[in-house]
Amino acid sequence: MKVGIIGSGGREHAICQSISNSNKIDEIFCFPGNAGTENIAKNIKIDLENFESIKNYILKKKIDVTIVGPEKPLVDGLVDYLEKFQIKVFGPNKIAAKLEGSKIFTKELCQKYNIPTAKFGIFRSKVSTYEYLKKIKFPIVIKADNLASGKGVYICNNFIEAKIATDEIFDGKFGDAKKILIEEFLKGEEMSFFTIHDGKTFKTFNTAQDHKRVSEGDKGKNTGGMGAYSPSRLINSKLETKIINKIIRPTLKGLADIGSQYKGFLYTGLMIVKDEPFLIEYNVRMGDPECQTILPKLLTNFDKIILACCDGKLNETDIKWSNKKSLCIVVCSEGYPEKFNKNILIENLNKIELANNEFLFHAGTEKKNKRIYAVGGRVLNFVSISEDFSKARNEILKNINKLNWSGGFYRKDIGYKVIK
């Protein structure tokens, strides 16, 4: 079987690795991939906005199934486009992808179907926003409506901070913004809950806890994710039932009512407040770095699960997991999530020898003349699975020390809530 993978991050390298474990795979193509995927797949340099050239390549190479990793092509309708040419593709269609593409779409759906979420208001101008901000209590959360790689969210403790956020969003920091969202601040603990869908049924796909802030102790700016552990310390069967019945099922009903079905991964970002789940956001894909953290624990062949989803046969497939604990630390380029240096040589990668329970997934890397350079903000993901989180983290830290890369930084405290 030939598999295509769209994307170039750590998530896509982890997907590529999992797919390559199956003995049914003849060839994997990554569009465009990174220096890590290059070792197990053919990297195809292609503009992800050019749907036609992606389609032409898939047809030319007779790729059997294509997995879409990142949100942008999903929100832009790549799945709908490829399906018009009878191409088998794993990921949600354009309407379903609005769950991530428009925070306001999701909030309105929550309102209509009684899905627990933070109270909110939608504002269409700076003036009406300022008026509202003068009357309310802080903290509050201000969000840009559109995709912003996890950066369009401001937690504001006073009017001045809220005014800066409002101005930045309306002045176009995250693209053309005609509306902003103001939410009640929920105090609780976050959890990422994953499900996989075939359009008719769905199954859970494990849980994780991301670390979004750039600095240790959860301080500093929001990032795409600095590390994660899986499973989340919060999950239990009672909470899982609540998440499914109060949040996921009504969401699927909402999509069905507008004529859409969900196929692909669904990432439910939750705040757990006193054992009750509140929806913070949906993402229409696996999380990054949650994917890198979760997939190494998967015991069932990943290609089998993906095909079952594309064929609407997920109910015939059992998904089995290792009970081990998994932890992931992301090594980033100095400066991330603000301006960071590009094309920095990573020298010691060959000094790292991975044991069977250890994984190294590339993200923003590129190979030039047999040497590997950092070209993105998040560069490498070190993962270890073990009996306990502490052992996993120690093994990772040893590997990162061996790398000894002067151009990078990372958080040593990933998993601090589950490691004493």
Q: Which does 280 bind (CB under 5 to 8 A by kind): ligand GLY, ligand AMP, none?
A: ligand AMP
| Least Cβ distance, residue 368 to ligand GLY (angstroms) | 28
Work out whether 288 is an interface residue with ligand GLY (CB under 6 A). Answer: yes
According to CB under 6 A, which residues from 131 to 190 bind ligand GLY? 150
Q: Which does 283 bind (CB under 5 to 8 A by kind): ligand AMP, ligand GLY, none?
A: ligand GLY
Work out whether 100 is an interface residue with ligand GLY (CB under 6 A). Answer: no
- Residue linked to tokens 């996890």: 150
Q: What is the C-alpha to C-alpha distance for residues 68 and 155, in angstroms, rounded to an integer?
A: 31
Count of residues that bind ligand GLY according to CB under 6 A: 8
| Least Cβ distance, residue 9 to ligand AMP (angstroms) | 17
Among 28, 55, 53, 56, residue whose Cα is nearest residue 43:
28
Among 46, 104, 186, 397, binds ligand AMP (CB under 6 A): 186
- Residue linked to tokens 């979004």: 212
In this complex, which beta carbon is closest to ligand GLY, that of residue 166 or of residue 292? 292
Work out whether 283 is an interface residue with ligand GLY (CB under 6 A). Answer: yes
| Omega prior to 277 cis, within 30 of 0 | no
Dihedral angle over CA of 253, 257, 261, 262, nearest 10? -40
Among 250, 269, 287, 415, binds ligand AMP (CB under 6 A): 269
In this complex, which beta carbon is closest to ligand AMP, that of residue 32 or of residue 220? 220
Q: For ligand GLY, which residue has the nearest CB?
A: 225
Beta pairing, strands 202-210 & 153-156: unpaired
Among 48, 78, 141, 165, binds ligand AMP (CB under 6 A): 141
CA distances from 210 to 197, 328, 393, 418 (A): 22, 9, 15, 12
| Least Cβ distance, residue 269 to ligand GLY (angstroms) | 8
Work out whether 190 is an interface residue with ligand AMP (CB under 6 A). Answer: yes
| Least Cβ distance, residue 210 to ligand GLY (angstroms) | 4
- Residue linked to tokens 């050239």: 53
> Structure tokens of 393?
């983290």
* Contact window for ligand AMP (CB under 6 A) among 6-14, 86-94, 180-188, 226-234: 180-188
Q: Which does 395 bind (CB under 5 to 8 A by kind): ligand AMP, ligand GLY, none?
A: none
| Least Cβ distance, residue 212 to ligand GLY (angstroms) | 7
In this complex, which beta carbon is closest to ligand GLY, that of residue 159 or of residue 175? 175
In this complex, which beta carbon is closest to ligand AMP, that of residue 71 or of residue 281? 281
Residues engaged in binding ligand AMP (CB under 6 A): 118, 141, 143, 150, 153, 183, 185-186, 190, 212, 222, 269, 271, 280-281
Residues engaged in binding ligand GLY (CB under 6 A): 150, 210, 224-225, 283, 287-288, 290
